[in-house]
């Protein structure tokens, strides 16, 4: 049964199920439980960040394996997550929580460069690097404007997390918790440097080119961080950097990889991510094959603000060797909003080649053939002026 948020419901147009308001979790929980009378439920699965904690509470009421709501909350609040990691002895950057009201660079106790983050947003939205006091003030004001429209309230609306910038290659790790034990699905390399000032993700490729020692260190730290959060059951999506002092967790979510990137699992492991997760939640731990095929995706970045008029070169890009598919998710006539304000990608390019390098090359070649034609956004108020 699909349970969908009332703001953008999938029910009844797309799937059978019920609609609830995720912003009223208590009422939503009781509505769901009432709808499940006389049904036998095998598992409860959250599909994105907005319902992770609600799903934990629902599974607990149904007596099913779940993460405790407190653990789920840590994945939703970056400041609480950092505190839990530090208390457990995990590798963490130096960090500080600052209040937006009356914010001044003198309140910062960290050396530059730093990375400023909202406490509750995802997908790199509102994440900005600052190399000096002037950039710090500008970044905080910009994030404040983003939070004004993001729907966060309370402490998460009034505070920001500031961390020391960490240099090093970045990786995404997909796994599954089974009885408090971390099981790996795959590691995605991010071959493009993510140095800021914004941190838009672009290329994901698998299987990873990490050497055995680095791989073991990365997975050991991810498992330690999952234990620090108290995660016990279900999918895990982690982002981490390999620094000169070892792997450092950046983000940890109690869900699968977001967007269309889950298709890489099917390309690489020859099994749908959704199948792996549902099997795991029903008590059949995922058993990925010993070897995986090369696969990659480019999350097409939005580099220019404006109104999308058309995309040229799609046919040529699709003809690129090893390209499997190109999905465009923003239609002509709609506004393009780059990071850090933006919260979506223009689309996705998928490739599957004989090896890592040729898969990566195919993605880059296809992207170079695309041309995104935009026009400025006209604002009626300014025109009238």
Report the CATH number at residue 263.
3.30.470.20
CA distances from 375 to 37, 155, 334, 335 (A): 53, 38, 11, 9
Which element (helix H / strand E) includes 35? helix 25-35
Which candidate, 252, 224, 250, 247, places its Cα nearest to that of 236?
252
Considering the domain boundaries, does residue 84 fall inside one?
no
Could you give the CA distance from residue 336 to residue 326 in angstroms, rounded to a whole number? Answer: 18
Which candidate, 34, 7, 35, places its Cα nearest to that of 21?
7
Could you give the CA distance from residue 52 to residue 49 in angstroms, rounded to a whole number? Answer: 5
My answer on whether 8 and 116 are in the same domain is no
Q: Is the peptide bond before 238 cis (omega within 30 degrees of 0)?
A: no
The two structure tokens encoding residue 210: 């990490």
Considering the domain boundaries, does residue 86 fall inside one?
no
- Ramachandran angles phi, psi of 128, nearest 5°: -135, 140
My answer on whether 345 and 325 are in the same domain is yes
In this prediction, residue 282 carries a pLDDT of: 83
Considering the domain boundaries, does residue 80 fall inside one?
no
Burial (0-12, 13-18, 19+ Cβ within 10 Å), 20: buried
The two structure tokens encoding residue 271: 């099994």
Write down which residue in 164, 186, 202 finishes a domain: 164
CATH number of the domain encompassing residue 109: 3.30.1490.20
My answer on whether 225 and 274 are in the same domain is yes
Single pTM value for the model: 0.88
My answer on whether 139 and 221 are in the same domain is no
My answer on whether 184 and 282 are in the same domain is yes
My answer on whether 224 and 309 are in the same domain is no
Write down which residue in 136, 164, 192 finishes a domain: 164
Considering the domain boundaries, does residue 88 fall inside one?
no
Considering the domain boundaries, does residue 76 fall inside one?
no
Could you give the CA distance from residue 142 to residue 93 in angstroms, rounded to a whole number? Answer: 23
Q: Which domain holds residue 153?
A: 94-164
Could you give the CA distance from residue 212 to residue 214 in angstroms, rounded to a whole number? Answer: 6
- Ramachandran angles phi, psi of 287, nearest 5°: -130, 80
Residue pointed to by tokens 């950092």: 82
Question: Which residues of the chain are under the pLDDT cut of 50?
Answer: none
Residue 283, by phi and psi: left (phi above 0), alpha (psi -120 to 50) or beta? Answer: left
Considering the domain boundaries, does residue 251 fall inside one?
yes
Could you give the CA distance from residue 162 to residue 250 in angstroms, rounded to a whole number? Answer: 12
In this prediction, residue 65 carries a pLDDT of: 85
My answer on whether 282 and 341 are in the same domain is no
The answer to whether residues 188 and 204 touch, using CB atoms and an 8 Å cutoff, is: yes
My answer on whether 189 and 266 are in the same domain is yes
What number of residues does the chain have? 385
My answer on whether 287 and 329 are in the same domain is no
Write down which residue in 131, 164, 197 finishes a domain: 164
Could you give the CA distance from residue 233 to residue 181 in angstroms, rounded to a whole number? Answer: 8
My answer on whether 182 and 198 are in the same domain is yes
In this prediction, residue 380 carries a pLDDT of: 60
Considering the domain boundaries, does residue 219 fall inside one?
yes
Domain tally for the chain? 4
In this prediction, residue 124 carries a pLDDT of: 86
My answer on whether 181 and 247 are in the same domain is yes
Considering the domain boundaries, does residue 125 fall inside one?
yes
The DSSP letter of residue 260 is: G
CA distances from 200 to 108, 165, 193, 262, 300 (A): 25, 15, 10, 18, 10
My answer on whether 150 and 255 are in the same domain is no
Query: Measured in Å, how far apart are the chain's first and last C-alpha atoms?
Result: 52
């Amino acid at each position: 049964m699909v349970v969908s948020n009332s703001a953008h419901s999938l029910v009844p147009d797309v799937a059978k199920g019920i609609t609830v308001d995720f912003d009223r979790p208590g009422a939503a929980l009781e509505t769901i439980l009432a709808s499940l009378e006389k049904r036998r439920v095998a598992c409860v699965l959250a599909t994105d960040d907005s319902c992770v904690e609600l799903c934990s509470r629902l599974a607990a009421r149904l007596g099913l394996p779940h993460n405790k709501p407190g653990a789920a909350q840590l994945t939703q609040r970056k400041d609480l997550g950092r505190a839990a990691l530090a208390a457990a002895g995990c590798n963490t950057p130096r960090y500080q929580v600052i209040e937006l009201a009356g914010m001044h660079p003198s309140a910062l106790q960290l050396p530059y460069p730093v990375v400023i983050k909202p406490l509750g947003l995802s997908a790199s939205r509102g994440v900005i690097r600052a190399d000096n006091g002037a950039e710090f003030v500008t970044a905080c004001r910009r994030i404040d404007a983003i939070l004004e429209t993001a729907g966060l309230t309370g402490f998460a609306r009034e505070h920001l997390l500031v961390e020391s910038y960490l240099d090093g290659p970045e990786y995404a790790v997909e796994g599954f918790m089974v009885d408090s034990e971390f099981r790996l699905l795959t590691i995605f390399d991010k071959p493009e440097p993510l140095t800021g000032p914004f941190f838009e993700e672009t290329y994901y490729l698998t299987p990873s080119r990490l050497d055995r020692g680095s791989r073991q260190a990365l997975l050991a730290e991810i498992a330690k961080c999952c234990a620090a959060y108290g995660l016990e059951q279900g999918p895990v999506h982690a982002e981490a950097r390999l620094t000169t002092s070892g792997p450092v967790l950046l983000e940890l979510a109690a869900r699968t990889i977001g967007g269309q990137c889950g298709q890489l699992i099917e390309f690489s492991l020859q099994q749908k991510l959704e199948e792996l997760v549902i099997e795991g939640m029903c008590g059949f731990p995922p058993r990925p094959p010993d070897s995986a095929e090369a696969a990659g995706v480019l999350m097409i970045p939005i580099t220019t603000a404006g109104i999308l008029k058309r995309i040229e070169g799609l046919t040529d890009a699709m003809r690129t060797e090893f390209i499997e598919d190109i999905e465009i998710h923003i239609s002509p006539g709609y506004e393009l909003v780059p990071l850090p304000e933006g919260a979506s990608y223009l689309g996705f390019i998928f490739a599957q080649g004989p090896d890592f390098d040729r898969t990566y090359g195919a993605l880059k070649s296809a992207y170079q053939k695309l041309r995104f034609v935009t026009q400025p956004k006209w604002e009626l108020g300014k025109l009238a002026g």
